[in-house]
Structure 1
């Protein structure tokens, strides 16, 4: 029994919607007027004997990476009908869709896994572990605000984009949202409340205010571009905790709360981390720049799903850019798997994070030094949920 994976076509609506209904809607039917594939998305379906039994949605995004943008497919709503499970449908969806993504010029793919071990089989790895902070109201720090706070109206969403983009520039993996993605991430038809700090805006909080007493107040998004915006943001969140038990929000690995305000009783952990997978190795290297010198290395990447990624690739770089060319295997200085390459390329955990694993073989230490120079450690973060 073979599984056919292909891009979504308009005639697939009923079958695609049925998968969405049975996997994510408790069997509730999809509304006839629901837009299953938004304008910035594409879909994939898996068929057995002409019947759609699996599907996922891909979001066309642009992710930050070392002061540039790379085209990224955010994979969401992966689902297989109950009666078609354990037949290799999910594996086929993941493995065979990669070819279409590469042919569509995607450099990177990302997803939020239900089980990371499944997606590791296809080259995905965790990169940039975001911290989930839950602080009880009684332990919430008292911080002096220094910036004015303003409540934005829903139609003023564009006002926070420059602040978000300045924040995103500090990390690898942040999605530079288009208009549709901004609306979705900020609550869609029932938008979150937005509160900004400073004029011009130096930080903001997006939150769905909870009216029920004695429960946690989740913060959808907390962004800051200065220490005073962070302090004002914390001070503002504390005002939301009247009759609440706690507040919960996410910060990057270099966020200030754990370093400056942690106390016993406060939870700082990792929840629902994102995985990435480089789709096109040579394209992932082209466009990188090294502002502090030049160098070269030869890299070989093992990739079962996309064997053309293997190379080996000679990478030469300087402040003007990077060139990538295929060379003979005898010139290889670094050999690693696609998952380890993705983690090194993403900057966190970076080369140091994969250096002592079985996935990295260093044949010439000078080549590893050069690769680390071109792709240094850099915090990873994605605030988009999909």
Structure 2
């Protein structure tokens, strides 16, 4: 009988064979040992046949992600793969179900992933939450260089220097990773090129850029800015490369304002649908989530009927209570505790709830789109109390 379990250290080669086949890439021999050193078998879950063959696998990475200025434990799903003779037999569904149970047990109330197919993962309660903008600017479109009170200096790639700036920047968005030292070392600072930091007039770091220049293209790998002076200073620094490049490539949040701030906004701008998210434990998530305080000092209450076919602990009727300070709770109520005809009940599925709380989709929009069915008073309460913040993710996993 098939078994789902964590991988063992000596199953690294088997996992790599599956990943290379499924994702159609080849790991160079000199990189295989680097991958082995970074292998966390306890993060990898496999579906094994009764004779011990690895059929399907899923990577569940323990992250923390920023949501409304708070860090939430988040399970990052990646590396989902199956051999061809094991596909369409429910293996991935079983792995995802196991992952949801694991995340709930570990207190990871949120999950995120980069989908190979949005429709496929929507079947499992994930929803599109993060989009980004990709800019390609010929040098003639670069922002004009301006003087600022601070200065930009090329520095060593130092975790202690860059991480505090990044964390302050990341906390302004929903879905950004809180990076630990290992992530910085293996996924951020290992990329080729230089690091430059903007220091304000008091010598405090307020922004940075990690980038490389090759074949007359300047590619920005990572960027963070905490002040308008830092933004101007970094772009002025980038402009100093105009004689050695023909264009610049950079990825930015969806609400980035550069096109409005430059003389000519007709440079190449592409919207990239990027990551999906899923609330794994709705009561646990709501207990951590900072709702907007009440302007009148009163509490709000909405009866939610949540649909979730994959995580039964989320499915049913709940009372969402948000006090005057914005502290929320989600408590299950018996179905006979609300009117049978549904009067006064707000209906939503787990994917739409995720889109509302971490995906930047307003309750009114979800109502108009048919993803939320709420009485007028409940809709007004949700509009008042659910905050809005731009979703963004600079990383990939």
TM over 0.5: yes
Which residue of 312, 316, 334 corresponds with 2:346?
A: 334
Q: Is the 8 A contact 1:17 1:36 kept in 2?
A: no
Q: How far is the alpha carbon of 1:211 from its aligned partner?
A: 3.1
Residues 83-114 of structure 1 show CA distances to partners (whole Å, capped at 9, x for unaligned) of 43344433433344222222222111111112
Question: Is residue 219 of structure 1 aligned with residue 220 of structure 2?
Answer: yes
Counterpart of 2:293? 291
Query: Within 2, Cα distance between the matches of 1:32 and 1:185?
Result: 16
Which residue of 315, 330, 336 corresponds with 2:320?
A: 315
CA spacing shift, 1:43–1:145, aligned 2, 3 Å: farther
Q: Is the 8 A contact 1:6 1:97 kept in 2?
A: no
Q: How far is the alpha carbon of 1:25 from its aligned partner?
A: 6.4
Query: Within 2, Cα distance between the matches of 1:345 and 1:70?
Result: 13
Question: Is residue 343 of structure 1 aligned with residue 355 of structure 2?
Answer: yes
CA spacing shift, 1:336–1:299, aligned 2, 3 Å: same
Q: How far is the alpha carbon of 1:280 from its aligned partner?
A: 0.5
Which runs of no fewer than 5 residues in structure 2 stay unpaired? Answer: none
Q: How far is the alpha carbon of 1:205 from its aligned partner?
A: 0.6
CA spacing shift, 1:358–1:217, aligned 2, 3 Å: same
Which residue of 37, 44, 49 corresponds with 2:39?
A: 37
Query: Within 2, Cα distance between the matches of 1:158 and 1:233?
Result: 20
Q: How far is the alpha carbon of 1:320 from its aligned partner?
A: 6.6
Counterpart of 1:302? 307
Which residue of 72, 76, 80 corresponds with 1:74?
A: 76
Counterpart of 1:325? 331
Which residue of 181, 184, 187 corresponds with 1:185?
A: 187
Residues 336-385 of structure 1 show CA distances to partners (whole Å, capped at 9, x for unaligned) of 111111000115123244221222111x2222222333322221111121
Correspondence list, 1:138-177, <5 A: 138-146=140-148, 147-154=150-157, 156-177=158-179
Question: Is residue 230 of structure 1 aligned with residue 231 of structure 2?
Answer: yes
CA spacing shift, 1:191–1:88, aligned 2, 3 Å: same
Q: How far is the alpha carbon of 1:36 from its aligned partner?
A: 4.9
Query: Within 2, Cα distance between the matches of 1:349 and 1:184?
Result: 33
Compute the TM-score of the two structures, normalised by the length of structure 1: 0.89
Q: Is the 8 A contact 1:62 1:175 kept in 2?
A: yes
Q: Is the 8 A contact 1:347 1:376 kept in 2?
A: no
CA spacing shift, 1:369–1:9, aligned 2, 3 Å: farther
Question: Is residue 84 of structure 1 aligned with residue 86 of structure 2?
Answer: yes
Counterpart of 1:26? 25
CA spacing shift, 1:353–1:187, aligned 2, 3 Å: farther
Q: How far is the alpha carbon of 1:74 from its aligned partner?
A: 1.5
CA spacing shift, 1:259–1:48, aligned 2, 3 Å: farther
Counterpart of 2:209? 205
Q: How far is the alpha carbon of 1:185 from its aligned partner?
A: 2.9
- Of the structure 1 ranges 321-330 and 270-279, higher mean CA displacement relative to structure 2 is found in 321-330
Query: Within 2, Cα distance between the matches of 1:262 and 1:315?
Result: 48
Residues 149-191 of structure 1 show CA distances to partners (whole Å, capped at 9, x for unaligned) of 111213x221122221221221111111111112223143x55
Q: How far is the alpha carbon of 1:27 from its aligned partner?
A: 5.0
Which runs of no fewer than 5 residues in structure 1 stay unpaired? Answer: none
Q: Is the 8 A contact 1:102 1:280 kept in 2?
A: yes
CA spacing shift, 1:192–1:204, aligned 2, 3 Å: same
Q: How far is the alpha carbon of 1:78 from its aligned partner?
A: 2.0
CA spacing shift, 1:94–1:241, aligned 2, 3 Å: farther
Question: Is residue 15 of structure 1 aligned with residue 14 of structure 2?
Answer: yes
Q: How far is the alpha carbon of 1:222 from its aligned partner?
A: 1.6
Q: How far is the alpha carbon of 1:81 from its aligned partner?
A: 2.4
Q: Is the 8 A contact 1:241 1:247 kept in 2?
A: no
Which residue of 369, 379, 386 corresponds with 2:380?
A: 369
- Aligned-residue CA RMSD (Å): 2.5
